[in-house]
Chain A
Amino acid sequence: MAQQPFGAMSAAQIQAGLKAKEFSAAEVARGALDRIAVADEPVHSFLEVTEELALEAAARVDDALVAGTFDELGPLAGVPVGFKDNMNLVGTRTTCSSRMLADYASPYTATCVQRCLDAGALPMGKLNMDEFAFGSSTETSAFGPTRNPWDLGRVPGGSSGGSAAAVAAGLVPVTLGSDTGGSIRQPASFCGVVGIKPTYGLVSRYGVVAFGSSLDQVGPFSRTVADAALAMNAIAGRDPLDCTSQPNDVDFAAALDEGAQGMRVGIVPEFLEAPGLTPEVRERIEEVAAKLEAEGATLVDVHLPNAKAAMSAYYVLGPCEAFSNLARFDSVRYGYCDSGHKDLNAQYEASRATGFGEEARRRIMLGSYLLSAGVYERYYYPAQQVRTLITQDYARAFEQVDCILAPVSPRTAFEFGEIGDPTEMYLSDMFTISINIAGNGGMSVPVGIGRDTGLPIGAQLVAPAFQDRAMMRLAAAIERLYGEAPVAPGFADGKAGE
């Protein structure tokens, strides 16, 4: 039988083929490995490929197929999955795309990764990211940037750029990423794939290297909403090792066919009037709204008066938490060490100056300053107050609507080096950050190609807390209107970036 482009198939298609004995899980794993070896060359989404782990997992799936117990394996049985490189997986390095952790191998596996493995996934490897998730372009990776499969001269977005690009290039059907201010939704939008940032607490953070503990959330990338639902079913739910995690009894795959009819969809005028929002993105979001209305949804204007302060609050709270979370990387027990100094402080300073990249150092110093005596009171405390106000804004909005529709990013993917000023880079996340501040679930769903740039545009859907199923239902309706996300043209039909 001719080898199939397994990574370009959906999880559902792979599972159907396995059950019909059209191919084996070992063939799926081998096919995906071979495809990564060739097609990831120009993309550079994988930092490490876990051939052995993938083949071992495939053997277990094949055993289950022989034993007739395939259906008991779980929602990701036989599906190749990649993990952002801030997620621990025994047998791999967890580099966070940093020189600091270039050789760090975790002795334990993250809960979200373990749940994928327990659900029968084939672990294909670890994916590139902005260093410690600080960035919106994957350009801050110490191991070189990932390229956008739609245009190799452009960034895939970030920080989960590798996770988005691997799916867009058809290397794997499902990946996991993490989102602190937009790090799943923005690259999903740039790469034209589905990306979900679940409600804070829905997915365990245990074993995912922390950036901003109160903002971080793990979620899936895929080319179909149905595949994302399978992944959500695998990873969501209470974890005794993460006391901020919450129980889940929702089947995310169940409501996808219900359609937009009867849903009240919120439109945020302040977002659509925001300076910097490009016309092609604005018009597309308005078009999506109109189409949903035609499908039977009701459009309601909702106001988030404090959302404009989200960026400011985020760049206080995020760096403060990051400063503290990254303090453990001190060169003493593991990680990059510049040794031979006379005293410990000198070793700390030299190791951290070299081990961390520029953006990581910037956020650490920013957090250190913002938490210092006399400054803390002027920034951290007001930022927490802003957080409360934004959370209340969303809670009020969701009294009127079931879901909010908004842009993900003000524009489509930009070119490498196009944005040099960090504060301009931070604006990439202007529509996503307030959702992390409030804790709600948010996602990006592809809504076609921009008329000016010819690059993918994503629509952002925001759900009430722990009502993530509502946005997934709406996303499935939008998917039916715009079609399932294709593999990037340069990677379709066996091409590798030509």
Chain B
Amino acid sequence: MRKLEEVLNDWEAVIGLEVHAELTTLRTKMFCGCKLEFGAEPNTHTCPVCLGLPGALPVPNRAAIEGIVLAGLATNCDIEKHSMFYRKNYMYPDMAKNFQTTQGPVAFCMRGWLDLDVDGPAARERHGLDALEPGQAEGNVTRTEEGYTAHVGITRIHMEEDAGKMVHVGGGEGRIAGATHSLVDYNRAGTPLIELVTEPDLRTPEEARLFMQKLRQIYLALGISNCSMEEGSLRCDGNVSLRRRGSSALGVKTELKNMNSFKNLHDGLAYEICRQAEVLEEGGQIYQETRHWDPTAKRTIVMRVKETADDYRLFPEPDLAPYDLSDEFVEAVRAKLPELPDQKAARYATEHGLSAYDARHLVDHRATADFFDACMALAAAEGDGSRFAKPLANLIINDVTAYMNAHEGFDLAESPLTPERAMELVRLVASDAVSSKQAKEVFAAVLAEDKSPEAIVAERGMEQVSDTGAIEAVVDEVMAANPDKVEQYRGGKTGLLGFFVGQCMKAMRGQGNPKVINELLAAKLDA
């Protein structure tokens, strides 16, 4: 199979996502009073309603309606004042009533959008950007300095109930194939679920990944879901088809499932695009089917062939009256909207003078944004304003994020790196008391030993030497020890400067101020 980058030269991928989020932060289920709790003993949070027992009736959870309206407002959707629940009829044991209560043609939230900022190497996967100047737009894409912004339409967000969970026993790895029997846990049945459907506006796996990431940030900021892809409270299916560059007709799409991490979403789509290209290039045909991404085998496999569209016999749920949202309700929900990641990033740029890139990466995680806010509040209290915003942003985006990525479950808010210690570290660097290289060591020690940066610097005798006299002596020593290199440098091999800096640093056991060393060396070598 060819590489994604090559494939995308010849083919345009058309991608749409369906994102399910469980409203895990609610106390109770969608249509009954059962408790929402992940990981409880199977079938302990059930009642006649969520077990679909004969005679049971649903009663809607108003807090769940508030949750979906929040999601809609945060994703620029129109809120439909008048909508209805429908029954989606299909037989499967995880759905005790054998119909799912969902919404019909009119969902609570319709016609929204999100803008995605794409930069880095993945930005090159979008074609036709070269012809655009920054600020210039074509289709749903606007060129930016670092890459581009893609405007992604959201068709709708509707409310529905989750199914129970099936566990297949006797086969391999819980698979249905080879299983001797199946168990059903209805604790999850009736969990309020919001399903967001995008327009087919995405063109690369990276865009899909970024969309999902951005949506997750928003849902987390709204506090409506814990958005755990691992526990399945945030799930994503992708629809993907290919068409020749320049063609506007849509190809046959496949639906991808089991992309339960950002990486799997990206890799699954990338694989599927390359697979479809290979089939098409060999004169084959794409079938409308559901495929399962197997991250271990790194390929997608057919789950189900859809010969005809499923007929779910959708009709209005007669046990639930049409839902009328009042203007007062919608406005009351709007008043509860927190600062959203995009708004936060914009504020970082205007208030603290950060670049759009830095601001965006700070808000990638709610934890890092909250941390940054706490640090800036300290700085303001001490009269430093935004002076340290940039170095602080660097510390968070580089060191803190790397640490978070390397340590699963790391909780920044509860860690030894308090905002006070972070600001102390930033100030030590700014005053040249420690080098940026030493700062990395101090950062690691703060987290490992739970001590303040100043204490670590004192203990380890790490104070940076910026004294010109001391450094000049070392510089002279190093030049004297390497007359041949001095000769070469003066003969034009100026790249040797790094060698001299390294030798000086080595002689000073890393405590020399690199800035002063650089200046003195340059002056003496160029003399």
The interface-forming segment of B242-250, B317-325, B335-343, B371-379 is B317-325
Does B54 lie within 8 Å of A104, measured CB to CB? Answer: yes
Shortest CB distance B43–A (Å): 11
Within 8 A of B (CB), among A323-374: 323-324, 327-330, 332-333, 344-345, 348, 368, 371-373
Does A243 lie within 8 Å of B58, measured CB to CB? Answer: yes
The interface-forming segment of A16-24, A105-113, A397-405 is A105-113
A376 to B98, CA, bound (A): 19
What residues on B are CB-neighbors of A212 within 8 Å? 318
- Most central of B52, B53, B99 by chain A CB within 10 Å: B53
What residues on A are CB-neighbors of B96 within 8 Å? 328, 333
Does B54 lie within 8 Å of A101, measured CB to CB? Answer: yes
Within 8 A of B (CB), among A107-125: 107-108, 110
Of B53, B58, B93, B313, which contacts A106 at CB under 8 A? B53
A221 an interface residue at 8 Å Cβ cutoff?
no
A37 to B314, CA, bound (A): 47
Main secondary structure of the interface of A (DSSP, over half): loop
* Chain B residue, CB-CB nearest to A367: B313
The interface-forming segment of A183-191, A202-210, A280-288, A421-429 is A202-210
Does B55 lie within 8 Å of A106, measured CB to CB? Answer: yes
B251 an interface residue at 8 Å Cβ cutoff?
no
B331 an interface residue at 8 Å Cβ cutoff?
no
What residues on B are CB-neighbors of A371 within 8 Å? 89, 313-315
A210 to B49, CA, bound (A): 13
Does B59 lie within 8 Å of A243, measured CB to CB? Answer: yes
Per-residue CB contact flags for chain B residues 181-208 toward chain A (1 = under 8 Å, else 0) read 0000000000000000000000000000
Of A86, A321, A328, which contacts B97 at CB under 8 A? A328
A242 an interface residue at 8 Å Cβ cutoff?
yes
B391 an interface residue at 8 Å Cβ cutoff?
no
How many A-B contacts if CB must be within 8 Å?
95
The answer to whether residues A327 and B55 also contact, given A108-B48, A213-B319, A244-B319 and a CB cut-off of 8 A, is no
- Most central of A101, A206, A240, A376 by chain B CB within 10 Å: A206
What residues on B are CB-neighbors of A15 within 8 Å? none
A209 to B57, CA, bound (A): 10
Does B315 lie within 8 Å of A328, measured CB to CB? Answer: no
A40 to B319, CA, bound (A): 36
Within 8 A of B (CB), among A288-338: 320-321, 323-324, 327-330, 332-333
A481 to B3, CA, bound (A): 92
A38 an interface residue at 8 Å Cβ cutoff?
no
Main secondary structure of the interface of B (DSSP, over half): loop
Does B87 lie within 8 Å of A324, measured CB to CB? Answer: yes
User: How many B residues have CB within 8 A of the partner chain?
Assistant: 28
Shortest CB distance A477–B (Å): 35
Of B57, B60, B89, which contacts A324 at CB under 8 A? B89
Does A373 lie within 8 Å of B315, measured CB to CB? Answer: no
Does A243 lie within 8 Å of B99, measured CB to CB? Answer: no
A344 to B181, CA, bound (A): 11
The answer to whether residues A107 and B93 also contact, given A214-B318, A240-B59, A372-B311 and a CB cut-off of 8 A, is no
B56 an interface residue at 8 Å Cβ cutoff?
yes
Does B313 lie within 8 Å of A368, measured CB to CB? Answer: yes
The answer to whether residues A205 and B57 also contact, given A330-B98, A371-B315 and a CB cut-off of 8 A, is yes
The answer to whether residues A94 and B54 also contact, given A324-B315, A372-B311 and a CB cut-off of 8 A, is yes
What residues on A are CB-neighbors of B48 within 8 Å? 106-108, 207
A254 an interface residue at 8 Å Cβ cutoff?
no
Does A373 lie within 8 Å of B311, measured CB to CB? Answer: yes
A334 to B22, CA, bound (A): 29
Closest 6 CB pairs of A and B: A327-B98, A371-B313, A214-B318, A213-B318, A207-B55, A209-B54
Query: A244-B57, A371-B314 provided; 8 other pairs, C-beta below 8 A?
Result: A101-B54, A106-B48, A108-B53, A212-B318, A243-B58, A243-B320, A333-B93, A371-B89
A-B CB contact pairs (8 Å), 7 listed: A87-B55, A94-B55, A101-B54, A243-B319, A368-B313, A371-B89, A372-B313
